């Protein structure tokens, strides 16, 4: 619902999935924002980590692998 206006914008891909997640990940090249879900707290009030890929095998790569796995299960969103 919140990202519907972005669907069809050149250079932007919006996908949907049915996977249960414990973090929201927003990725752009070698940077990402990870919104950690906290029990009993709405996502807007939970911590957000700004990660940068500085070396291989670090925290960024772990979240990137998770992102890619979910992306592979997703489908491109379309305006209804």
Average pLDDT over every residue of 41-57: 92
- Select from 41, 36, 32 the least CA-distant residue to 67: 32
Helix (H, G, I), strand (E, B) or coil at 23: strand
The secondary structure of 35-77 as a DSSP string is EE--TTS-GGGS-EEEEE--STTSHHHHHHHHHHHHHHH-EE-
- Determine the pLDDT at residue 80: 77
What whole-number percentage of the chain has pLDDT above 70? Answer: 100
- Determine the pLDDT at residue 23: 87
Mean pLDDT of the chain: 91
Band the pLDDT of 18: cuts 50, 70, 90.
very high
Average pLDDT over every residue of 31-56: 92
Rounded CA separation 57/65 (Å): 10
**For residue 31, what are its two tokens?**
């940077």
Average pLDDT over every residue of 30-43: 92
Band the pLDDT of 72: cuts 50, 70, 90.
very high
């Amino acid at each position: 619902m919140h990202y519907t206006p972005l669907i069809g914008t050149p250079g932007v891909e919006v996908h949907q999935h049915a996977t249960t997640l414990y973090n929201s990940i927003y990725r752009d090249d070698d940077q990402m924002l990870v919104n950690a879900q906290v029990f009993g707290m709405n996502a807007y009030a939970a911590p957000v980590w700004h990660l940068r890929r500085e070396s291989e095998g670090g925290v960024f790569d772990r979240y990137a692998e998770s992102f890619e796995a979910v992306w592979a299960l997703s489908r491109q969103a379309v305006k209804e």
